Amino acid sequence: MTDWTTDDSAELYGIRRWGNGYFDVSARGELTVRVPTADGSIQVALAEILDGVRQRDLRLPLLLRIENLLDAQITRLNEAFRNAIAEHDYPGSYRGVFPIKVNQQRQVIEEITRFGAPYRHGLEAGSKAELMIALASLPADGSLIICNGYKDREFIDLGLRARQLGFQCIFVIETPAELPVILARSRALGVEPRLGVRVKLSTTVGGHWNLTSGERSIFGLSISQLVEVVDRLREAEMLNTLRLLHCHLGSQIPQLDDIRSAAAEACRFYQELMNEGAAMEMIDFGGGLAVDYLGTGSSDSQSRDYSLAGYAAALVETVMTNLTDPDRPPTIITESGRETVAYYSLLLFNIFDVTRFDPAAEGLIPGPEAHPLLRKMASRLERIGAETPQQNYREIVACRDRLHELFTAGQLSLRDRALAQELLLAAGRRLLRQSPGQQLPADLQTLREDLAAIYYGNLSVFQSLPDHWAIGQLFPVAPIRRLAEKPQCHAVIADITCDSDGRISRFIADRGTRATLALHELAPGEDYVLATFLVGAYQETLGDLHNLFGDTDIASVRIEADGGFVITREDRGDSVADLLGYVQYDARELKARFRATAEQAVRENRINLPQRQEILACFNAGLDGYSYFET
């Protein structure tokens, strides 16, 4: 314990590997956020921010947004391309675009447009609703809006009207069926469109989300469809409206070589469209820029083997190599949503209960009257510390299994079955102590996980971390205090939903993943708070209402150069009444129905009038309360 340092905790939880320079551990053992300033950086403890938020009556679980990190990420992205363009003497320019689908929350979009204004950072809209967000958020001074997805007449009319207002609104054609509608509405409204085409590349990239790459992608035009679109535009004398080539390389692409290969193929399509006579101006490489969730800098699907600077340089180099006309350099566009917002948000939640799988009395010895199998288990337990520990443990497991059968047949008492469980737990603990850090045989490899404690967290995985539940996405997790102490307990985290999938049971490790997380033993009365990081991308908009746990409280802070911070926005999470409304229950009707039930109980003399009032007040308080665990 005394040899443990805060550097050990930083290494254990990988904070400096996945934190992108934004998170660290203070000398006091508190997890900190580090934000850039004009003359360096400043660190503030997350515990200090949480204390300030709680003084404003916001509750855990809490989604904490740190504005400085969004500002910093937008700056880093644009400056990376600016530096790559300068380094390679590229005569063109770069425009960043944020895909609204990655996080549609109003505050997020407003801050992206505010922080992105110096770089003329645009937005990508994949639906009518998202287009309306873009039009209401960006200035009508040539702001870039990329319109992806399938488009009906209302979508197209709105985009054409946006061009009248001064927006640079580009329709990306996903299917040939869209083109006749766009041309017809353009003629009817007297507004010339700006068009792009999305092509299906043959290059297939690696990673979790690669189904948008390759010729079998469900989005985009095949080569024959692309030729058809060009021919139709030429026949309509509107080939000059085709200005952009779009391709989506994939999301969370871990390998830079894949990005280079796909970008080179996209450049060939761009060149051929120029050869056809299209007035090409922009090449949009879509998403793909990965976040290193694991912090391993590897080709794992949840990491990346390149830096942001390397990504920008690869695209600039590829365009310069494959598009050589110096008089018509395309504007390079990327739609890097995940990298932009992932670091900006983190989820804070408290641990309110623990289940441990430890023997109550490891030295307990069955008496001579105990079942022979129990006495055999105790004998093998003693041998674990001396000889063939793994084989003795296997024999203990076999005895336990036979005792379970006897219990089911009514031939073993409840107390004897409990003793069998105690002996098995004692054997498992002793075996792990005999083989610290060793690789166990295949049939025993889950032993550490089987004996891990369950820490019950005040959160809903389905609501706040849906990608962890659905596709096994890993998010870094760490306590925000006590990082100067060595954690002694290996645990998994269960949420407060009554569902076995409501848990976090895979965690990042120094060379990949692990099944448990090292945490501290809870002290009596302690408020033990964990943070889950890199949750800004997709998690807020994909969450569902499993068990009717809704949106958490939200606090946005901006850290000042003097080390202080201001809370710029507070949003209360869903009440129980809010959530019931989402599933078509009217709170007033529920109150009336429950009031009638209570009144009936008064008439039948089961409760008196004061009790009726107390019961109704309890019901009403429940409707108005937070959907999560309240202390």
Query: Which amino acid is present at 292?
Result: D
CATH number of the domain bearing residue 326: 3.20.20.10
**pLDDT tens digit string along 377-436?**
888 888 886 667 888 888 889 999 999 999 999 999 999 999 999 898 888 888 888 777
Contacts of 355 (CB under 8 A, 6+ apart): 453, 454, 456
Confidence band of 527 (pLDDT split at 50, 70, 90): very high
Do 268 and 322 touch, CB atoms closer than 8 A? yes
Same domain, residue pair 328 and 378: no
Q: Is residue 613 part of a domain?
A: yes
Q: What pLDDT, on a 0 to 100 scale, did the predictor assign at position 326?
A: 80
**What average pLDDT score do residues 44-73 get?**
95
**pLDDT tens digit string along 245-264?**
999 887 899 999 999 999 99
Q: What pLDDT, on a 0 to 100 scale, did the predictor assign at position 310?
A: 97
**pLDDT > 70? residue 462:** yes
Q: Is residue 552 part of a domain?
A: no
Closest-CA residue to 198 (of 155, 244, 156): 244
**pLDDT > 70? residue 184:** yes
Contacts of 109 (CB under 8 A, 6+ apart): 98, 100, 103, 123, 133, 137
Q: What is the DSSP string of 533-592?
A: -S--SSHHHH---GGG--PPEEEEEEE-TTS-EEEEEEE---BHHHHHHHTT--HHHHHH
Same domain, residue pair 280 and 400: no
Confidence band of 443 (pLDDT split at 50, 70, 90): confident
Closest-CA residue to 283 (of 325, 317, 332): 332
Q: What is the DSSP string of 58-126?
A: --SSEEEEEHHHHHHHHHHHHHHHHHHHHHTT-SS-EEEEEEGGG---HHHHHHHHHHHGGGT-EEEES
Do 15 and 478 touch, CB atoms closer than 8 A? yes
**pLDDT > 50? residue 1:** no
**pLDDT > 50? residue 237:** yes
Same domain, residue pair 153 and 114: yes
Q: What is the DSSP string of 390-449?
A: HHHHHHHHHHHHHHHHHHHTT-S-HHHHHHHHHHHHHHHHHHHHHSTTPPPPGGGTTHHH
pTM: 0.90
Do 308 and 250 touch, CB atoms closer than 8 A? no
Confidence band of 541 (pLDDT split at 50, 70, 90): confident
Coil vs helix vs strand at 507: strand
Confidence band of 359 (pLDDT split at 50, 70, 90): confident
439, 459, 492 — which closes off a domain? 439
| Other C-beta atoms lying within 10 Å of the C-beta of residue 177 | 11
Residue 618's domain comprises 586-624
**pLDDT > 80? residue 213:** no
CA–CA dist 418, 120 (Å, integer) = 67
Catalytic residue of the set 147, 169, 399, 498: 498
415, 439, 463 — which closes off a domain? 439
* CA dihedral sign, ordered 343, 345, 350, 354: negative
Same domain, residue pair 158 and 296: yes
**pLDDT tens digit string along 363-372?**
667 888 889 9
Q: Is residue 336 part of a domain?
A: yes
Q: What pLDDT, on a 0 to 100 scale, did the predictor assign at position 219?
A: 74
| Other C-beta atoms lying within 10 Å of the C-beta of residue 457 | 28
Upper half-sphere CA count for residue 556 (Cβ side, 13 Å): 16
Same domain, residue pair 203 and 249: yes
Same domain, residue pair 279 and 392: no
Q: What pLDDT, on a 0 to 100 scale, did the predictor assign at position 99?
A: 94
Sequence-ordered alpha helix ranges (H) in 435-488: 447-450, 461-464, 466-471
Same domain, residue pair 409 and 338: no
Q: What is the mean pLDDT of the chain?
A: 90
Portion of the chain with pLDDT greater than 90, in percent:
67
**What average pLDDT score do residues 168-174 get?**
95
How is residue 117 written in tokens? 């204004």
Q: Which H or E run includes 284?
A: strand 282-284
Q: Is 147 a catalytic residue?
A: no
Confidence band of 280 (pLDDT split at 50, 70, 90): very high
**pLDDT tens digit string along 63-86?**
999 999 999 999 999 999 999 999
Same domain, residue pair 277 and 377: no
Tally of domains within the chain: 3
Q: Position of tokens 């409501």?
A: 502
**What average pLDDT score do residues 489-505 get?**
89
Q: What pLDDT, on a 0 to 100 scale, did the predictor assign at position 583?
A: 82
Same domain, residue pair 320 and 386: no
How is residue 168 written in tokens? 């640079």
Q: What pLDDT, on a 0 to 100 scale, did the predictor assign at position 491?
A: 93
**pLDDT > 90? residue 87:** yes
Q: Is residue 410 part of a domain?
A: yes
Q: Is residue 414 part of a domain?
A: yes
Same domain, residue pair 139 and 177: yes
Do 610 and 602 touch, CB atoms closer than 8 A? no
